[in-house]
């Protein structure tokens, strides 16, 4: 068994690699892939193989096609949103409270919440866990383990090249019962329409990935 300290470092490399691979393919895409490749070379086991699958798929795709695919996958389909509180809060008032938990975790660690992405955006949370506060970051990821697995299953169903990267993240977290994620994927998030506008996914501003 790997010592706990080594496991923590290993998981942080997995999280940082996944964050880079899950970023929007803008002008910094090629540089992020090179960094991800270097990081993946430092880890072993199933997570390394899974991240390598996504890396190879992204390297083999044209930039315009990849950007279109990214928006279609993560911005236009609710089932594959990377906003973690969507699955736990949905269209209810509770979602706002859940979002606050992320911003509080960032501030408690001494960093400002992201300005150009939602605080519960998975790549942001992964980068936070990898580079700022691995304890608080792991807690946020573990608390949203079921939504992360829902995302993984939805990406697998869509034959998305990003599915292996999400599976690598799942491998660093506690397991969940298969019925939990399948049920949530089938029924959808909580709903509360009284007094609220329906929740709509929007295409978030694009930026270079450079910290939370």
Q: What pLDDT digit, counting tens, does each position of 77-126 carry?
A: 988 999 999 988 876 677 888 899 999 999 999 999 998 899 999 999 99
C-alpha span between 196 and 75 (Å, rounded): 21
Task: Report d(CA 37, CA 121) in Å as an integer.
Answer: 23
Which residues lie closer than 8 Å to 180 by C-beta, 6 or more apart? 146, 149
The answer regarding whether domain 1-185 maps to CATH 3.40.720 reads no
3-class SS of residue 121: strand
pLDDT at 140: 97
| C-alpha dihedral sign at 145, 123, 206, 49 | negative
Q: Which of 146, 93, 137 is nearest to 119 (CA)?
A: 137
What's the pTM value of the predicted model, to 2 decimals? 0.84
pLDDT at residue 28 in the model: 95
Structural domain spans, the chain: 1-185
**Exposure string (b/e) for 74-91, b if CB count within 10 Å is 16 or more?**
bbeebbbbbbbbbbbbbb
194 pLDDT higher than 60: no
Report the phi/psi class of residue 111: left, alpha or beta, with left for phi > 0 and alpha for psi in -120 to 50.
beta
Query: 160 or 88: whose pLDDT is higher?
Result: 160
């Amino acid at each position: 068994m790997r010592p706990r300290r080594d496991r923590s470092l290993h998981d942080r490399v997995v999280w940082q690699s996944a964050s880079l691979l899950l970023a929007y393919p803008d002008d910094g895409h090629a540089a992020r892939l090179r960094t991800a490749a270097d990081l993946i070379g430092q880890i072993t086991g199933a997570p390394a193989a899974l991240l390598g699958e996504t890396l190879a798929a992204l390297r083999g795709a044209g930039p315009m096609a990849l950007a279109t695919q990214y928006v279609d996958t993560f911005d236009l389909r609710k089932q594959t949103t990377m906003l973690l509180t969507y699955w736990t809060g949905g269209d209810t008032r509770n979602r706002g409270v859940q979002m606050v938990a992320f911003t509080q975790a960032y501030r408690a660690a001494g960093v400002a919440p992201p300005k150009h992405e939602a605080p519960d955006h998975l790549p942001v949370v992964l980068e936070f866990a990898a580079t700022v506060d691995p304890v608080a970051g792991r807690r946020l990821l573990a608390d949203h383990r079921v939504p992360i697995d829902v995302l993984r299953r939805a990406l697998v169903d869509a034959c998305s090249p990003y599915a292996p990267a999400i599976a690598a993240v799942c491998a660093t977290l506690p397991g969940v019962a298969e019925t939990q994620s399948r049920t949530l994927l089938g029924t959808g998030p909580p709903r509360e329409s009284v007094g609220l506008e329906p929740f709509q996914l929007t295409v978030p501003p694009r930026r270079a990935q450079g910290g939370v």
